[in-house]
Amino acid sequence: MRTLLFTKLLCTLLLFSSCSKDDSDNLIDFSASFKNASTGILEGDSEINLDINFSRTATESGSIEIAYTTDNAVYGTDFTTHPSGENGSLTLPVNAGDGKATITFTKLTDPIEGTSRSIDFSIQSFEGVGWNVGANKNLNLSFTPVASSGAVIDLLTGGSNFPNQVYIDLSTSKQTAVQRDTWELAVYNGTENRVFLNSSLLVAAAQLEGKTDLLAVTESTALSSPLTLNSWGQPSQVSTVAELLVNLPVGYSQFSNLAEGIVFTDSKEGNLDETAFAEVSTTASENNVYLVSLGNEIPTDAAEAGSINTTGAHRGFLKVRILSDGNSYTIRYAALNETSAYQEITVAKNSDQVKTAVSFTSGTVVAVEPEASKWDLNFTGIYSYSSGGYGLTYSDYGLHNSLGNVGLYEVLTYQITDAVRTDYDVPSYTNFSISDVNESALIYNNQAVIASDWRNSGDGIAKDDRYYIIKDGEGNLYKLRFTALLSSGGERGFSQLEYEKLN
C-alpha cells in the first residue's frame, strides 16, 4: 500500500513539474519598449512619467540601462530624473512580477520663447538577463511651454518617389517623417474597434463573408456567394478567392460595386464607419477573414523634373483575421496558401494615440503616428481610394487630424472661370486675423479638406487662390497656406508651407 501511494505521489509531482515546464516554455519572449516614440511636457506641468512597457510580466529580476543626450538642456539645472541620471545614463531596476518600468522626469526650467529644448532617451542594454528591445528603443521628450507663433516648413516627403509621409505639430513646428512602407494596417484606439489601411502604400482589403477559419482559406476557396463587381464600369462575376484577387490591388482596374456598398479601400474622408474592414466584434465568431493586398513598393529611380515616380511592384497578398476584447486587438495573418500555421500580433489600445500601426514585414507594432495631441496635419506623397470600379491615387496629399479633434476649413479668395476672375469678399491671407475666424465652418468629419486641391501639378505651382484655417486639439488657431510645390531645382516631393498663429 505504501509503495502504491508513493508511486501515485511521484506521478503527481512529475505531472506538476511537467505542467510548470510547459507553461514556462510557452511564455512569449520578454521585451521592453518605450510606450511612445515621442512625447512632450504640457505648459504648466513640471513632471511627467516616461513608461517602459513590457511584452509580458517579468519572471526574473534585472535592470535596464538607459542613455540620454540633450539639446539645450543641462541635468540638475533644467531637469532631473528618478532614478538619477547625472552622468548621461540611468539604471532602472526591474523586479519579478513587474509589468513596466517608469522614469520620473522633472522639468526645472522652461526654455526661452523661440528656442527649443529636448532630451533623447535610448534603451541601451539589460543587466543580468537576456531580454530584448521592443518596437520603441528611443524616446524624444520635448519641452513645449508655449505654442509656436508660426513657421515656414519644407515638407520632408523625400523627393519624386515620395518615400515618406510626414506628421506636423503646429504648436511646436515639429515635423515627423515616417517611411510609408513601414506599415500596412493601423488599429483605432478609441471606443470602437476599427482597422485602417495604409492608403499611402495603396493597401486594399476584401472581407470573405462567412469565412472565419483563417487557415482553411486558399486561392481555390469558393466565396460564400458570388459577387458582382465592376472594373471600369464592366461587371464581372467573382466566385473564388483567385478571381477576387485579380483586381483587388489599387489601380486603374480595381474591383468595387458602389451601388451595393462594396469598396475595398477606406474612404478619403477618414470616418470610422467608412473603412474596408468592418468594425471588429468582441464576439470572435463574428469576425471574418480578409484578403489584404499589401500595396506597392516604393521605387528608387528618381522621376524627371516636375514628375513623380511613386508606385513600384506589387508587394503581394496575405489573409488576415482580427479579433478584439475591446481593450486590445489580436491580428492573425498568413500567406494566402498557408494551411498549417499563422502569425499573430497583439496590440493593446493606447489612449495617447488615435491609431497604432502594425507591420506584417516585421510582425510588430511600429511607431508611425505621434501622440494624438502632437500632430495636426499629415502629408503623403500618395493617397489612394476606390471610386466606381477603378482606383484613384493622388500625390501631394494633405490630411488633418480630424479623429484627434483638429478642425479645418478652406478660405477661397478668388476663382477664374473662362478667363474671367471673380474675387470673393474675404480677407487676404496676410490680412486675416482671429476676428475673421468662423468656428462654425471648421470641419471635423472629413480629413481630406486640403487633399491635393492646393496645387496645380501641371503647372508645378502651389495655388495662391486659397488658404486654410486650423484649430488644434488644444484650441490654438492658425492660418496656413502653401508656398511651393517644387524644389528650387524643379523636383517634386519638396513642397513648402507657411503658417501663423492667430492671437
Nearest CA to 172 out of 134, 146, 195 is that of 146
State whether 211 and 354 are in the same domain. Answer: yes
For residue 25, tell me if it sits in a domain. no
For residue 234, tell me if it sits in a domain. yes
Q: Determine the pLDDT at residue 147.
A: 67
Question: If you ran DSSP here, which 8-state letter would residue 11 be given?
Answer: H
State whether 138 and 241 are in the same domain. Answer: no
State whether 266 and 217 are in the same domain. Answer: yes
Q: Specify the 3-state DSSP secondary structure of 345.
A: strand
Of 307, 334, 368, which residue constitutes the final position of a domain?
368
For residue 294, tell me if it sits in a domain. yes
State whether 458 and 410 are in the same domain. Answer: yes
- CATH (domain of 43): 2.60.40.2030
Q: Determine the pLDDT at residue 471.
A: 98
For residue 245, tell me if it sits in a domain. yes
For residue 387, tell me if it sits in a domain. no
State whether 323 and 238 are in the same domain. Answer: yes
With DSSP H G I counted as helix, E B as strand and the rest as coil, what are the percentages for the chain, rounded to 5? 10, 40, 50
The whole-angstrom separation of Cα 155 and Cα 167 is 9
The whole-angstrom separation of Cα 414 and Cα 463 is 11
Q: Determine the pLDDT at residue 427.
A: 98
State whether 209 and 269 are in the same domain. Answer: yes
State whether 170 and 226 are in the same domain. Answer: no
State whether 209 and 358 are in the same domain. Answer: yes
Is the separation of the CB atoms in 238 and 230 below 8 Å? no
- Residue 317's CB is within 10 A of a number of other CB atoms, namely 20
The whole-angstrom separation of Cα 467 and Cα 410 is 6
Q: How many domains does the chain have?
A: 3
State whether 233 and 141 are in the same domain. Answer: no
The whole-angstrom separation of Cα 354 and Cα 196 is 11
For residue 113, tell me if it sits in a domain. yes
State whether 131 and 43 are in the same domain. Answer: yes
State whether 195 and 310 are in the same domain. Answer: yes
Domain that includes residue 431, residue range: 165-177+374-380+392-502
Question: Residue with C-alpha cell 497604432?
Answer: 356
For residue 10, tell me if it sits in a domain. no
Is the separation of the CB atoms in 234 and 367 below 8 Å? no
State whether 352 and 248 are in the same domain. Answer: yes
Q: Determine the pLDDT at residue 140.
A: 87
Per-position pLDDT tens, the chain of length 503:
444 444 444 444 333 333 333 334 445 578 888 876 777 786 667 898 898 988 888 889 999 999 999 999 999 999 999 999 988 999 999 999 998 899 999 999 888 766 788 999 999 999 878 888 887 799 888 886 556 678 888 999 999 999 999 999 998 888 999 999 999 999 999 999 999 999 999 999 999 999 999 999 999 999 999 999 988 778 899 999 999 999 999 988 889 998 888 999 999 999 999 999 999 999 999 999 999 999 999 999 999 999 999 999 999 999 999 999 999 999 999 999 999 999 999 999 999 999 999 999 999 999 999 999 999 999 986 777 777 677 788 899 999 999 999 999 999 999 999 999 999 999 999 999 999 999 999 999 999 999 999 999 888 999 999 999 999 999 999 999 999 999 888 999 999 999 999 98
Question: If you ran DSSP here, which 8-state letter would residue 253 be given?
Answer: T
For residue 26, tell me if it sits in a domain. no
